[in-house]
Amino acid sequence: MPHRAASTLGGMDRRERRWAVLVSAVAVVAVALPGIRTLASPGAPDGFPLSTYPMFTRDPGREVDQPTVVAVSPGGDVERLSPGTIAGTDQVIQAGVAVRRAVAGGPAAAARLCAEVAGRVAAPATVAVVVERHDVVAWSAGDREPLDRRTVADCEARG
Amino acid sequence: MSQPTGAPGARRPPVPGAAAGPVAAGVDAAPAPGHRPLSRAEAWLLAPAPAARLAMLRVLVGAYATVWALARLPAHVAHTGQPAERWQPVGVLAPLGAPPPDAVVVGAALTAPVLALLVAVGWRHRVVTPAAAVVVLGLATLDSSWGQVFHTENLMVLHLGILASAPAAADALAVGRRAGGAGAAPAPDARYGWPLRLAALVVVLTYLVTGLAKVRFGGLDWLDGDTLRHIVAHDNLRKALLGDAHSPVGPALVAHAWLFAPLAVATLVVELGAWVALLGGRWRTAWVVTAWIFHAGVLALMAIVFAYPLSGVAFAPFFRLERLRPSARPRRRRPPAARRPCWGRARRARAGG
């Protein structure tokens, strides 16, 4: 085996060199392409792991509508449910997407989600699929009551 | 800024068309001048590096992927309980009209940590690392195929893919390779350099694309701070309404609107200025530190954990990783007199010796 102490490219044959350049070119173009597509069209879809990185780019505004699912106890207390209870996931954003899609899907889809969540609620309560409107700045300052709460579907959890 | 990292004092003859300068130190070795942009780019890419540097990147990425796959194991298995109507596949899973079979998901979830660990130890690298890259890509894509794409694991997946494409990544620090044996410490070579350079370049590109997206979607308004303020407030509100833990810091800062304009500017400086990391030296270090602080800020304000950069592994390709090896630390040999116990010297002094 030849000694390679003096090599820089000396250890690489032509095939290895081509491979390195090819892999690098493909990787660079693949990672950069979503960015170029974003420049050309703001509607370019996101992907993984080649992403347009659209998170935190747009202003959601000061007042936002946030769909969620809550449990209302017989005493009238509103309890927030976890992403696992809402959508069987540990990811809060995916739980939010599941609720948003159910709300957008109309009363039947919201009722299906409601029944699914009710099956995961441990105590007797009324489960409600709601859309809450909040002033995000006021909420951050401690005003936790929504400006508006609209119930899209509700159902009973037997616990 | 850069220094030879081969045998002490060794000098290599230049090779035409190659990075004839010193061994690439992370990304801080100056590329050899070339006549054409492409040849300059190629010379930059193919700068030689020590085998241990690339191997150490393999160890770090493999170790990170092992921890990730173990930590995410319950969540990966839980995908089997998701209703099929929530399936919104992206990336390599996009062609699938339905979620993968449960057995495949559970099998991948259980296999991933084992494969990732084998990547870290360098066992049968040419087979195991591509397999690990595919399984981790599949699982991470699965995580993002339920209506929300997650951007926290992109670099880990990309780095694993680069390592899988680099057959020489287990030429050192690998199971079955004896230190000190014949050929055990290969000379610095371009085959060890290009995956490091590519991994660093990919890091820079992802930050640039992220910054471009903010400019493209948010425009210059993004810099006035209101957008960032609303994003921080909304993200914490969403977490609270959906029953998740949220940051106590973010909402407290939202009241101080003036803070968010400088934070917005700093964010764009980190993202659009990522290319300075390729300059090496203090520029690289300053950017890496700033980017780490940026991610720590995201964690503090929005309770979002970008674990790969926060762990430092994302930035590893920029540095001389071979220095992390315990055997790479120089042993200090004290002079014989200094090694004698002090009581010995006192006794000789009393004896007049």
Q: Do B183 and A1 touch (CB under 8 A)?
A: yes
Banded pLDDT at A10 (limits 50, 70, 90): low
Instruction: Tell me the HSE value of A44 on the side-chain side, using a 13 A CA sphere.
Output: 20
Closest alpha carbon to B214 in A53, A8, A47: A53
CB pairs under 8 A between A and B: 257
Closest alpha carbon to A23 in B202, B218, B178, B65: B202
Q: Do A39 and B218 touch (CB under 8 A)?
A: no
Residue B326 or B338, more confident: B326
Which residues of chain A neighbour B194 with C-beta distances below 8 Å? 20, 24
Q: What is the DSSP string of B276-335?
A: GGGG-HHHHHHHHHHHHHHHHHHHHHH----HHHHHTGGGGGGS-GGGGSGGGSPPP---
Tell me if B212 sits within 8 A of B246, measured CB to CB: no
Closest alpha carbon to B185 in B3, B5, B1, B2: B5
Question: Does residue A20 belong to the interface with chain B, where contact is any CB pair within 8 Å?
Answer: yes
Cα(B236)–Cα(B215) distance, integer angstroms: 23
Preferred mutation among A4, A33, A36, A56 to probe B, highest tally of B CBs within 10 A:
A56
Question: Does residue A17 belong to the interface with chain B, where contact is any CB pair within 8 Å?
Answer: yes
Preferred mutation among B163, B241, B302 to probe A, highest tally of A CBs within 10 A:
B241
* CA torsion through residues B146, B147, B148, B150, sign: positive
pLDDT in tens, B174-213: 997 765 555 557 899 999 999 999 999 999 999 999 999 9
Preferred mutation among B234, B236, B258 to probe A, highest tally of A CBs within 10 A:
B234
Q: What is the mean pLDDT of chain A?
A: 90
Q: What is the ipTM of this complex?
A: 0.89
Cα(B161)–Cα(B129) distance, integer angstroms: 8
Which residues of chain B neighbour A106 with C-beta distances below 8 Å? none
Tell me if A139 sits within 8 A of B232, measured CB to CB: no
Which residues of chain B neighbour A116 with C-beta distances below 8 Å? 83
Cα(B85)–Cα(A98) distance, integer angstroms: 10
Q: Which whole number is the average pLDDT over A75-103? A: 92
Mind telling me how many Å the CA of A141 is from chain B's nearest CA?
7
Q: B14: part of which helix (H) or strand (E)? A: none
Is the model's pLDDT at B300 over the cut of 80?
Answer: yes
Question: Does residue A34 belong to the interface with chain B, where contact is any CB pair within 8 Å?
Answer: yes
Cα(B184)–Cα(B199) distance, integer angstroms: 25
Is the model's pLDDT at B20 over the cut of 50?
Answer: no
Q: Who's near B92: CB < 8 A, 6+ residues apart?
A: B137, B138, B141
Q: Which whole number is the average pLDDT over A151-155? A: 96
Q: Which whole number is the average pLDDT over B23-37? A: 54
Banded pLDDT at B324 (limits 50, 70, 90): confident
Banded pLDDT at A27 (limits 50, 70, 90): very high
Tell me if B158 sits within 8 A of B317, measured CB to CB: no
Cα(B206)–Cα(B310) distance, integer angstroms: 16
Torsion, Cα of A123, A124, A128, A129 (10° steps): 40
Cα(A133)–Cα(B235) distance, integer angstroms: 14
Other beta carbons within 10 angstroms of residue A18's beta carbon come to 11
Mind telling me how many Å the CA of A7 is from chain B's nearest CA?
6
Query: Which pLDDT belongs to residue B318?
Result: 98
